[in-house]
A and B are shown apart, each in its own frame.
Chain A
């Protein structure tokens, strides 16, 4: 066996340094994804004329094509069409691509969460004199958020993992560093093992945090999910 544990351990901190960039891409994309998803979810929920159809076409396209193709299209393709994109960095292209990709999925989750609030509660809200907006704010959104949170956690883990594709458009992240070190030493197994471990540990930490959050929310909501 030509595996060198020592080499793997010695490269781990070097690669780990670039976890910051991976997390940066994931967190920033997540931020924009949540905002963008909220907007398009509302457009779809209230079926706002004109926008509603455009949004559906966008969702279709981004769910129907691979993220890698989308990233290449944005980073290498768009600058050839319009000079406005020439100065776009790989980092910016990664954020744009990952946001557009993730939002196409997240909007479905958000819509499902909004629709999970029983219609009767909406009617009850209206029947005590509340406006649609008040019902949305006091009754639908708080319950939908609780339904959506675990799913949003999963979306975030996806973003962390998908951020590894950013290295293909020149972003120096965990994956880029592991590849560089692997190339220079020809010890690919050790370098990619390190990348493996780092991604896995990050995902696990997020999952544990997510479970903790869910538990806490359930305690506050005392029996929201209880049936009898």
Chain B
């Protein structure tokens, strides 16, 4: 479903991603973990071209883009292959909860209002926020906002969902409600998920594969079982030792 080939990204002279290669199968859930500032988020943002890679090729669902020659049209088409959930939710503050969810359906997918609202209602039920449909984001808790952001992405039914540290900005007591929504998506097995996270236990629970990144490179890729009990690389072991305490 996703193929990343020789992907590099630098800001000026500062390299952030160095020759990343990764294949992700349809329906797979991949957790990307690693120390802060090692390019995990940048990798994710390159997958929907919020960042333009400096070099390399990315393919999602049969659509391939090359970093060296990108047209605006390609960027728009490629972005529609995936949806993204951000660390700080980024809900549209001028829209109600329901409008946040229906906006892209109406504007991008050109679905009529009644149908869009019908689908939004289904999603709102799934994320447990039906009664908040007419609230504005400013009146919701962080956890509720993030659930809406997930709903906004889910409703577009794209085959790929990208989660960029979805619980990092939340109070510890609100992390659970968000994780459980994400977990319910992973259990349906028809969405390919890449999630950057610092929640190791969660990664272990939901991921089919763990990717460990450090200093802009993929150090190790393994099943959660192997990754957490018997990692191959010394650096991975040090990281786990530090994080699991």
Binding site for B on A (CB under 8 A): 118, 120-121, 123-131, 134, 138-139, 142-143, 146, 221-228
Q: Which residues of A contact B76 (CB under 8 A)?
A: 129, 131
Decide yes or no whether B167 CB sits under 8 A from chain A: no
Q: Are B79 and A127 in contact (CB under 8 A)?
A: yes
Q: Which residues of B contact A225 (CB under 8 A)?
A: 138
Q: Are A128 and B139 in contact (CB under 8 A)?
A: no
Interface residues of B in 171-203 (CB under 8 A from A): none
Q: Which residues of B contact A120 (CB under 8 A)?
A: 86, 88-90
Q: Which residues of A contact B84 (CB under 8 A)?
A: 124, 127
Q: Which residues of A contact B89 (CB under 8 A)?
A: 120
Q: How far is the CA of A223 from the CA of B96 in the complex (A)?
A: 10
Question: A66 → chain B, closest Cβ, in Å?
Answer: 39
**Binary interface encoding of chain B residues 71-86 relative to chain A, with 1 for a CB under 8 A from any of its CBs, else 0:** 0000010011001101
Decide yes or no whether B9 CB sits under 8 A from chain A: no
Q: How far is the CA of A139 from the CA of B94 in the complex (A)?
A: 7
**Binary interface encoding of chain B residues 87-114 relative to chain A, with 1 for a CB under 8 A from any of its CBs, else 0:** 0111111101000000110011100000
Q: How far is the CA of A7 from the CA of B93 in the complex (A)?
A: 56
Decide yes or no whether B207 CB sits under 8 A from chain A: no
Q: How far is the CA of A120 from the CA of B137 in the complex (A)?
A: 14
Q: Are A224 and B138 in contact (CB under 8 A)?
A: yes
Given contacts A121-B93, A127-B86, A228-B141, 8 further A-B contacts (CB under 8 A): A123-B50, A127-B84, A127-B153, A128-B153, A139-B92, A143-B94, A222-B138, A228-B138
Q: Are B138 and A227 in contact (CB under 8 A)?
A: yes
Question: A53 → chain B, closest Cβ, in Å?
Answer: 24
Closest to B75 in A: A126
Q: Which residues of B contact A127 (CB under 8 A)?
A: 48, 50, 79, 83-84, 86, 153
Which bucket holds chain B's interface residue count? Answer: 20 to 34
Q: How far is the CA of A77 from the CA of B109 in the complex (A)?
A: 57
Q: Which residues of B contact A224 (CB under 8 A)?
A: 93-94, 136, 138
Q: How far is the CA of A131 from the CA of B50 in the complex (A)?
A: 12
Decide yes or no whether B130 CB sits under 8 A from chain A: no
Q: Are B135 and A222 in contact (CB under 8 A)?
A: yes
Q: How far is the CA of A131 from the CA of B108 in the complex (A)?
A: 8
Q: Are A121 and B92 in contact (CB under 8 A)?
A: yes
Q: Are B107 and A134 in contact (CB under 8 A)?
A: yes
Closest to A223 in B: B138
Q: Which residues of A contact B153 (CB under 8 A)?
A: 127-128
Q: Are B139 and A129 in contact (CB under 8 A)?
A: no
Partner of A123 from B80, B90, B140, B141 at Cβ < 8 Å: B90
Q: Which residues of B contact A128 (CB under 8 A)?
A: 83, 103-104, 108, 152-153, 156
Q: Which residues of A contact B92 (CB under 8 A)?
A: 121, 124-125, 138-139
Question: B84 → chain A, closest Cβ, in Å?
Answer: 4
**Binary interface encoding of chain B residues 204-218 relative to chain A, with 1 for a CB under 8 A from any of its CBs, else 0:** 000000000000000
Q: How far is the CA of A125 from the CA of B156 in the complex (A)?
A: 13
Known interface pairs A127-B84, A134-B107; A226-B138 also in contact (CB < 8 Å)? yes
Question: B12 → chain A, closest Cβ, in Å?
Answer: 19
Decide yes or no whether B149 CB sits under 8 A from chain A: yes
Interface residues of B in 51-77 (CB under 8 A from A): 76
Q: Are A142 and B104 in contact (CB under 8 A)?
A: no
Q: Which residues of B contact A126 (CB under 8 A)?
A: 50, 79
Closest to B155 in A: A128
Question: B148 → chain A, closest Cβ, in Å?
Answer: 11
Q: Which residues of B contact A228 (CB under 8 A)?
A: 138-142
Known interface pairs A126-B79, A134-B108, A138-B103; A121-B139 also in contact (CB < 8 Å)? no
